[in-house]
Each structure stands twice: as structure tokens, then as C-alpha cells.
């Protein structure tokens, strides 16, 4: 694999499984040292860190719930201290609680906003203190920011749509410092949270131009592009990877 990210230092939230784990592995494969957070299942996190180290880079896993701002900041600071700075931030941690508006628990609303939106801001605010010109910040949003074709997803869609505005504003704040800020919006991706062999998946495939689920590695490839030197003129953008779900 091309070592475009040699000597870069990355911090990824929610990196122990699914899209986050694929991002950790891809960045490591391109030469970046990678630290990442997880909430539960330390064995999975250890496996991801071990796989990254096998690619010849430094890697470490840290337990930190995105809803806990102090834990998020602590993980950022630990990464900067261990690696000597941060060049790439990927806010990948997310939750998806679905329910009709009449039955939607307020605690699920609060946690969705805390993890999907506030944690991204908290991590960004902490990380930019350790970033120099050439820094890269990437949010993992969702194509549901643009299209929510089924009931029960209003709060999730709201949280991901808010990321779009956050990215645009942060791009303005940080552009003069040479730091880019972008948003990757996956569509249906085969993960343990959204398996491709279910009745729900069959319904989604009917809404897509390319009638298959994407893979976490395909999302990670887009993140790797935004992390690298070729994307220096891309900022404030939302790049959709959804098989034509929103076409």
C-alpha cells in the first residue's frame, strides 16, 4: 500500500469495529500512527490495535465514551502526548436509536446528540490545539442527512444533518490555519449494526442505484483520500458514498 501518510499521527473515535476499525487499519496501512477509542469489548479493540501494529506503525486503543466530554478530551491529550501531536482526526463514533416520534425516549435523544454531534465538536476543539498546517479533520456522517426514507429515524437524521453545518463552519474557522474539515456520508454499509443479510437490508437495496451494500473498506478509502496530501484543496465538503441511495 502507498505510504502517503508516513510519519502522520491519527486519532479516530469509535475505532474498534465496523467503519471505524476499517479506517484505523487503512490509515495504518498508509503509514500513519493511529490511536483510537472504544466504549466496550476491549478484546475487539486489542485485535484492531494489533492488526495496525503488524503494518509497522504505532497503535493504541483507549476506552472513552463519546457522551463523556472529559473522556474524549483525555483521549485526545493522551494521543498528542504519546505521538507528539495530531495530524489527522476522524470522528467516527456514532449511535443510532430508531423509534417513532411518539415513543422516542428523551434519553435516547440526548445520547444521540451527545455522541453523534457534541463529541465531534469536543474532539475537534481538543485536537486542533495539537495540529499544524496540513491537518485533516474528517467527520463520519450519513446519507440520512439528505434522505430519510423510513419512519423512526428523525433524530438520527437530525444529528447527521447538523454535522454538515458544523463542518462548513469549522472549515471557515480553520482554513486560514491550513487545516481542512470534511464530512464523509456513508449509505448502507455492511457492519454488525447494519447487516446486509436482513429484511431491512432488502428494503434499502431497492432504493439504491447500485443494489448492494457497501463495505467498510470502501468508506475507509475515501477517508484515506481526505487524510492525504492530494485533498488539500477540499474543505467544507460532504462526500457521499451510498451506492446512489440519495441519487
3-state SS, the chain, equals CCCCCCCCEEEEECCCCHHHHHHHHHHHHCCCEEEEEECCCHHHHHHHHHHHHCCCCCEEEEECCCCCHHHHHHHHHHHHHHHCCCCEEEECCCCCCCCCHHHCCHHHHHHHHHHHHHHHHHHHHHHHHHCCCCCEEEEECCHHHCCCCCCCCHHHHHHHHHHHHHHHHHHHHHHCCCCEEEEEEECCECCCCCCCCCHHHHHHHCCCCCCCCECHHHHHHHHHHHHCHHHCCCCCCEEEECCCCCC
**Mean pLDDT computed over every residue of the chain:** 97
pLDDT in tens, 69-114: 999 999 999 999 999 999 999 999 999 999 999 999 999 999 999 9
Could you report the per-residue pLDDT of 147-197, keeping only the tens digit for each? Answer: 999 999 999 999 999 999 999 999 999 999 999 999 999 999 999 888 899
Which pLDDT score is estimated for 151? 94
Q: What is the pTM for the complete model shown? A: 0.96
Domains along the sequence of the chain with CATH: 9-239 (3.40.50.720)
Q: Catalytic site residue 156?
A: yes
Catalytic residue (one of 38, 156, 213, 225) = 156
Q: How far apart are CA 151 and CA 15, in angstroms?
A: 29
Res. 2 pLDDT band, cuts 50 70 90: confident
Mean pLDDT (whole number) for 192-214? 92
* Cross-strand bridge partners of residue 239: 184
Closest of 217, 194, 216 to residue 205, by C-alpha? 194
* Per-residue model confidence as pLDDT tens digits over 217-232: 999 999 999 999 999 9
Cα distances (angstroms) measured from residue 213 to each of 153, 242, 247: 19, 8, 15
Amino acid at each position: 500500500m502507498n505510504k502517503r501518510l508516513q510519519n502522520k499521527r491519527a486519532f479516530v473515535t469509535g475505532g474498534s469495529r465496523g467503519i471505524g476499525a476499517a479506517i484505523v487499519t487503512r490509515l495504518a496501512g498508509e503509514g500513519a500512527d493511529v490511536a483510537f477509542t472504544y466504549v466496550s469489548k476491549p478484546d475487539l479493540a486489542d485485535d484492531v490495535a494489533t492488526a495496525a501494529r503488524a503494518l509497522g506503525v504505532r497503535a493504541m486503543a483507549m476506552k472513552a465514551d463519546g457522551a463523556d466530554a472529559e473522556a474524549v478530551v483525555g483521549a485526545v491529550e493522551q494521543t498528542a502526548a504519546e505521538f507528539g501531536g495530531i495530524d489527522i482526526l476522524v470522528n467516527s463514533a456514532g449511535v443510532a436509536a430508531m423509534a417513532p416520534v411518539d415513543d422516542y425516549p428523551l434519553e435516547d435523544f440526548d445520547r444521540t446528540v451527545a455522541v453523534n454531534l457534541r463529541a465531534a465538536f469536543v474532539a475537534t476543539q481538543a485536537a486542533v490545539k495539537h495540529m499544524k498546517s496540513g491537518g485533516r479533520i474528517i467527520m463520519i456522517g450519513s446519507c440520512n442527512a439528505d434522505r430519510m426514507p423510513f419512519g423512526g429515524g428523525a433524530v438520527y437524521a437530525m444529528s447527521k444533518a447538523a454535522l454538515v453545518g458544523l463542518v462548513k463552519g469549522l472549515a471557515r474557522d480553520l482554513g486560514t490555519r491550513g487545516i481542512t474539515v470534511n464530512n464523509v456520508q456513508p449509505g448502507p454499509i455492511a457492519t454488525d449494526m447494519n447487516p446486509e443479510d436482513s429484511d431491512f437490508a432488502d428494503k434499502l437495496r431497492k432504493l439504491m442505484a447500485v443494489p448492494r451494500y457497501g463495505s467498510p473498506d470502501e468508506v475507509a478509502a475515501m477517508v484515506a483520500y481526505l487524510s492525504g496530501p492530494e485533498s488539500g484543496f477540499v474543505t467544507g465538503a460532504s462526500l457521499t458514498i451510498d451506492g446512489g441511495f440519495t441519487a
